[in-house]
Homo-oligomer: A and B are copies of this chain.
């Protein structure tokens, strides 16, 4: 069927299969969502294994040659579907997603148990799927798998050869990724990577993400007295680690909202006037973006638009802080230590290691007598950008336009997807970032949701993208 995958008849029967199988598809997703695969908390290690095994078995049912490949952390799911005929040379794509999810806390803010998925009526969107991982990333992963299932059911083949790689540490810094790619890179290397972990422009407009911010993180712990002290007896003369920590992290931004680390902006490129005007032309709704989460004014660097901040400026956030007595009531204590979790968002050319070094220098220069600092969980990945003129990029754009009735918006993403940088640097493989999440999906938050239309039109979109990629034959 070379060259005709995207023909009306061929595609129609695939899309029909998706329509007929919609209930079973939802059941499969709900089973996937019931597995508490929280990679950042060791308590849930077994659940992560279970999520990997379930994914591999699901791919085997479709005819994939699938296995669960152990790592020093959470295992990788590796699966291949290669057409029997090898001539003419077929395109080969690598699909990437992750089966791990964020911790669900604070639990008491969920309207239903986070791992018992619910199909809920929503005034704005009709039906929504509510569960941890519904959008990030289990729901998105299943849009692609269901598209493959429909293609195989309708035509007993796929338009391109497909390798699937599902990671289990995306939410915890992907420590096992580099070693895995070093060992199995040649096996999974394809003409292009399809990554489904991003969002649409809005509920009715698809998007392809062409650049991603990088990430660097560090957990800093300040220690002081050798034991907890009574703040009446010692208050004043005794060094208080919470004071030290708050003075240090409280000083990370200046009055203009700029990060105060020495050299932090040295490698940051200012977007071209052309780029800036293109972003302005998108008519992004700053007030709506903030209003949806109860905010009214852009924080961060003064004088910069929201998109300019999110797509071209680095930041530092304090993601967590704890020290001293945090239970009910009062306890007049000076604690022995206090800890803060920091994460930096980086833009192209910034080096995560250099940023972490400058954080250490900044802290150590401000450390008063009798206070010590230690660091944990440090790591990161640089930002990346892609060639929007590549055939695979155009093929995806055509497919998305066919499904959604309008061309996809080419966007940047404030968040980081370390795998994309690794594919680029370790395997020399470009990635196509297409996802169907929405800004209000509450990922990483209580009551995470994925619209039923995101799930169903997402699968239809992948069915079309596979067809366009097959016709364009992006084999290199």
Contact = CB atoms under 8 A, between A and B. Distances in A.
Contact of A224 (B249, B295, B439, B445): B295
A407 interface: no
A213 interface: yes
A211 to B, nearest CB: 13
A105 B230 CA distance: 13
Contact of A238 (B234, B239, B293, B415): B293
A243 interface: yes
Contacts of A39: 329
Contact of A246 (B41, B109, B246, B369): B246
A290 B237 contact: yes
Contacts of A271: none
Interface of A: 39-42, 102-103, 105-106, 109, 171-173, 213, 215, 217, 219, 224-240, 242-243, 245-253, 286, 289-290, 293-301, 306, 309-310, 313, 315, 317-335, 338-341, 343, 345, 368-370, 377, 413-416, 439, 442-446
Give the oligomeric copy count: 2
19 contacts: A105-B325, A105-B327, A172-B329, A224-B295, A228-B445, A228-B446, A231-B345, A235-B343, A236-B315, A236-B345, A238-B290, A242-B249, A243-B249, A246-B340, A297-B370, A299-B368, A318-B323, A330-B377, A332-B444
Given A293-B227, A329-B172, A322 B319 contact: no
A41 B236 contact: no
> Which of A252, A321, A327: most chain B Cβ within 10 A?
A321
A98 to B, nearest CB: 14
Given A238-B300, A243-B249, A320-B323, 11 more contacts: A39-B329, A173-B330, A226-B294, A227-B293, A236-B315, A246-B246, A318-B323, A320-B324, A322-B326, A326-B341, A332-B444
A341 to B, nearest CB: 6
A318 B322 CA distance: 12
Given A296-B369, A330-B217, A370-B297, A250 B253 contact: no
Given A40-B331, A331-B320, A414 B227 contact: no
A228 to B, nearest CB: 4
A290 B249 CA distance: 26
A215 B224 CA distance: 23
A416 B306 CA distance: 50
Contact of A227 (B41, B310, B370, B446): B446
A450 to B, nearest CB: 15
Contact of A237 (B224, B306, B328): B306
Nearest to A199: B233
Contacts of A377: 329-330
A295 B332 CA distance: 19
Nearest to A253: B243
Contacts of A300: 236-238
Contacts of A343: 231, 235, 330, 332
